[in-house]
A and B are shown apart, each in its own frame.
Chain A
Amino acid sequence: MSETITPREIPIISVEDAMVHFPVKRSQIQRLQGKPKQFVQALNGVRLEITRGETLGIVGESGCGKSTLARTLVGLLSATDGRVRFKGQDIATLVGQARRSFNRQVQMIFQDPYGSLNPRMTVGQMLSEALSVHDMRPKHAIPARILELMDLVRLPADSIDKLPHEFSGGQRQRIGISRALAVEPEVLVADELVSALDVSVQAQVVNLLLDLQNKLSLTVLFVAHDLRLVRHISHRVAVMYLGEVVEVGDTQTLYRTPLHPYTQALLRAAPSLDPAARGKNVSLTGELPSPLSPPAGCRFHTRCPHVTDRCRVERPVLTLKASGQKVACHWA
C-alpha cells in the first residue's frame, strides 16, 4: 500500500533554516537598566526534509528543540526566521481556508494523556466536532464514522459516551490518536507519544501506530527520547542538539555507525539490557550549555572529545557522507 518514494519527488515537509527564538520576559527594572533582550534559542537553523510515507524519528535530550520543532511543523509556533514548507508552500503564508486545510492534513498527538483531552467533552463529542468542522462526513454518517474510528484505535464502542477521566493513560493516548485521525491527515506528528506511559502500555500504543502507519500510508514524525523505540519504528532518524539537527540518516546505518560525536555518546549512554555491557567510562561529560547563549562555532564543541580550534569558531553545516547520512561536524 505504501508508495515507492522517488528521489525527484518534493518532500512533503521541508524545513529551511528554521529559527524559533522565544523572548525572555524582562521585568520593568531590567528594562530600565538597559539590559539587552535575551532570547531562548529553541531552534537555530534547522534543516530537514521529510518524504511522504516515511516515519522520521527525532531524538535528542532536553533543550535540543525537538518539541519546539514538532510544534512549529504543525503551526502552533511560527518560525522567527527561515521557513517551513508543506507540499512546497510556506505555511506562514497560509490563512483562512488554506490554513484550515493545512491543519487538517498535518495533525499532532500530544505527550500528556491527562491534559490533551478536554475533561468535559465525551469521546463522541470530540470526534463529531472534528468530523463536522472539517466536513469529513455528512451529518447522518457521523455516528457510523465515529464507530469506525473507535475500531481503528481498538477501543470499545461504549467509549463514545464516556469522559476522559474514565480511561487509563494508554487509552487516552488512543483517543488522542483517533481525534487526529478523524480528519484523515497525511502527516502525523507524535510529540513524545508514549513517554508518559508505562512500558507495557507503551508497547500497545506503539503497535497501534505501526499498524496505522501501514494501513493509512501515513507520514509520521516521531519525536521521542527513547532511542530503542525510535529505532524500532522509524525509517530515518534525525538527532538534535541545542536547536540544530546534527545528524540525520537511515535508521539502521545511523544506529550501527553513528558519525557525529554526540550521536555516538547518546547511543553509548543509553542503558542496554545486557549487564555485561557495563563500562567504566561515562559517554558524555559536562553539562548542556544554556540555550540563552549557546556556544559559538559548533554548539557541541564544549563537550566534544574531538574538538579542534576550527570547531570553536566555525559552525559546521549538514553535509552528505558516503554512507548516506548527513552530519554537521568538522571531524566526521
Chain B
Amino acid sequence: MRWLNGYVPAITRIESMNNQSNSDGALLQVTGLNTRIKTSRGELRAIQDVSLTLEKGEILGLVGESGSGKSVTLRSLLKLMPPSAEISGSVKWQGRELSTLSSSALRSVRGREIAVIFQEPMIALNPVLTVWRQIEESLHAHTDLNRKQRRRRAIELLTQVGIPAPESRLDDYPHQFSGGMRQRVMIAIALAGDPRLLLADEPTTALDVTIQEQILKLLLNLRDELGMGIIFVTHDLGVVAQLCDRVAVMYAGRIVETGPVNAILRQPHHPYTQGLIASVPQAGDEGTPLLSIEGTPPSLLDLPQGCSFSSRCVHSTEVCRQRLPELVKLSEHQQVACHHHLHIQQQRQPEEV
C-alpha cells in the first residue's frame, strides 16, 4: 500500500510477524466514545461521539487546539481520567471490548498491550528512582524474565531508543538526562511490555525542534521494526505531516474530519481544518496578515445546539446553527462533519491548481 510519495511503510514485515490478534484488520476500533466531567460549574462535555479505527502498524494523528478533546480522547480509551469523569462508548482492542473490563483486567492491558507516553517526562518519570528501576518495574510486571534477563533487556531497550552508553546510563536518575533523552527513556519504559499500540500525548511539544525530529524519526523506525500502531496527539500540523499516516481533526470535543494525511493537507474539507492550515505562515506571504480564524472555541460547559464551529465559520447558515452535522463518508478513508462541505469544495476548486 503506497501512502506517500517515496515512503513505503513496511507492511510486509509486519504481516510476517506472528501475532495473536484477530485476523480482521482493525487493531483498535472506537465507537461513540463520550466523556463527561462533573465540575463545580456544571457538566463538561469533554468529548462526544468520538469514533475512530486504527489498523496494524498505522500512525494516526489526533490534532486540535486546547479544549478540542484530543488528550481526553486518548486518556478515555484506557480510562485514565479522574474519577469525576464519566466515560461511555465502545473501545474494541484486537476484538476485545475494553470498556466493560474490570479495573484489574484493564490494568493488565495497560502497559503490556497498550502503552502511553506523555508530554512532560519529568512529571511522568519518578525522580527518586533510577532509570533501571523504572524500566525493571515495567519488565517485571509485564514479562516473565528473571533479573539478569531483565537487565539485558533494559539495555536492549535503551539502545533501541537511541541512548548512547546504555549500560552506564541505566543507573542514572531522570534529572541527569536532557529533555530529549528523558523522552526516549519514557519510550523505552513504554516498550518494555512489548505493546502493540502506543498512545502518545503530545510527547514532543515541549522539545526543541531538532530533538523533536529525532524523536519522530525514532517513532517511525520503531513502527517499522515492531509493527506498533501509534495514536499521536498534537496541535502541530507539521508534526502530523511528517509522522502520521492518517489524521483526525478535533474541535470542541468532536471529530470534524478524518482522512489520509496527504489528502487532508492538500484538500481539507472542513472549514476548521482549512482555517488551521491557512493560519500557518507560508513561504512567499511574508509581511502579509495571516489568515486567522476569528473568535474563540465555545465553552465545553455550554455547547451550542448545532455545529460548534458555526459561530466562527464564514460559511455558516441557519441549518448549521440548528442541526449538528454528522460525519459523512467522502471516500473509503475520508470523513467530514459539515453541512456545506460540497459547496465549500466547489468554491475552492478554481483556487486549486
Contact = CB atoms under 8 A, between A and B. Distances in A.
Interface of A: 61-62, 168, 170, 198-204, 206-207, 210-211, 225, 227-229, 231-233, 251-252, 255, 265-266, 269-278, 280-285, 287-288
B209 A225 contact: yes
B296 A278 contact: no
Nearest to B277: A273
B129 interface: no
B208 A62 contact: yes
Contact of A273 (B208, B211, B238, B287): B238
A62 B212 contact: no
Contacts of A61: 208-211
B241 interface: yes
B209, B239, B242 pick with most chain A CB within 10 angstroms: B209
Interface string B283-294: 101111111111
Contact of A282 (B7, B217, B291): B217
A288 B292 CA distance: 35
Contact of B286 (A227, A232, A266, A282): A232
A232 B281 CA distance: 6
B180 A287 contact: yes
B276 A200 contact: yes
B286 A233 contact: yes
B80 interface: no
A244 to B, nearest CB: 17
A287 B178 contact: yes
Interface of B: 4-7, 65-66, 178-181, 208-214, 216-217, 235-239, 241-243, 261-262, 265, 275-277, 279-281, 283, 285-294, 296
A203 B241 contact: no
Contacts of B179: 62
B210 A271 contact: no
Given A206-B290, A275-B262, 16 more contacts: A62-B208, A199-B237, A203-B292, A211-B289, A229-B281, A232-B287, A265-B210, A266-B210, A269-B209, A271-B241, A273-B237, A273-B238, A277-B242, A278-B242, A284-B213, A288-B178
B281 A271 contact: no
A202 B292 CA distance: 8
Nearest to A210: B289
B214 A203 contact: no
Contacts of B288: 210
B178 A203 contact: no
10 contacts: A61-B211, A199-B65, A200-B276, A204-B294, A211-B289, A231-B283, A271-B209, A276-B5, A277-B241, A278-B7
